[in-house]
Amino acid sequence: MLIINNLIPEIMKIVKSVTGSFLLLLVLIVVTATTTASGQQTKKPSPALPDDLNKIFTNSCMPCHSSKGGMMSQARLNFTNWTQYSTEKQKEKAEDIISVLEKDKMPPKNARETRPGIIPTKEQIAIIKNWVDSLKTSDKK
């Protein structure tokens, strides 16, 4: 009995040590998971497209450049994922958009011939250009 009485304090130290280590490990896991999850949740979402641009892009670009479009088109630009792009990537994509529109490379020739209603007007291209320019000047502020 004496041996057991002497062992009880030692056993309690071990239990406390293991429990403390386990609790510390559990706290670290929870903190890490919370930090990772909250980092994803608190990441400031990139801005959505302004309504006037969304209307233009819905008509002229999204038939191909959205989740409903072809794989190649989606790989280059996918408006379905626009808010998931970083702000920097949005700016790069915006510059690409105006570049191909001003060079008449988009919509592609076959789409222009089969669906002439998707061709953005000069006024619409000007709206897009102003938007792209505003993105550039927002960097300088």
Residues 55 and 12 reside in one and the same domain: no
pLDDT band at 137; cut points 50, 70, 90: confident
Instruction: Inform me whether the pLDDT recorded for 134 exceeds 90.
Output: yes
Count the domains in the chain: 2
Instruction: Inform me whether the pLDDT recorded for 60 exceeds 60.
Output: yes
Residues 72 and 111 reside in one and the same domain: yes
10-34 pLDDT per residue, tens: 766 776 665 655 544 444 454 445 4
pLDDT of 15 reads 62
Residues 74 and 124 reside in one and the same domain: yes
The residue written with tokens 């006037």 in the block is 52
Q: How far apart are CA 18 and CA 32, in angstroms?
A: 21
Q: How far apart are CA 137 and CA 141, in angstroms?
A: 7
Instruction: Inform me whether the pLDDT recorded for 53 exceeds 90.
Output: yes
pLDDT of 27 reads 40
- Per DSSP, the chain holds a count of helices (H) and strands (E) of 6, 0
pLDDT of 72 reads 86
Residues 39 and 59 reside in one and the same domain: no
Residues 62 and 124 reside in one and the same domain: yes
Residues 55 and 104 reside in one and the same domain: yes
Residues 2 and 31 reside in one and the same domain: yes
Kindly give, in sequence order, each residue whose CB lies less than 8 Å from that of residue 94, ignoring residues fewer than 6 positions away: 131, 132, 135
71-99 pLDDT per residue, tens: 888 889 999 999 999 999 999 999 999 99
Amino acid identity of residue 63, one-letter, is: P
Residues 74 and 136 reside in one and the same domain: yes
Residues 33 and 70 reside in one and the same domain: no
Please name the residue ranges forming H helices in 62-119: 71-76, 87-102, 109-114
Residues 20 and 69 reside in one and the same domain: no
Q: What is the domain range of residue 10? A: 1-43
Residues 125 and 71 reside in one and the same domain: yes
Residues 119 and 102 reside in one and the same domain: yes
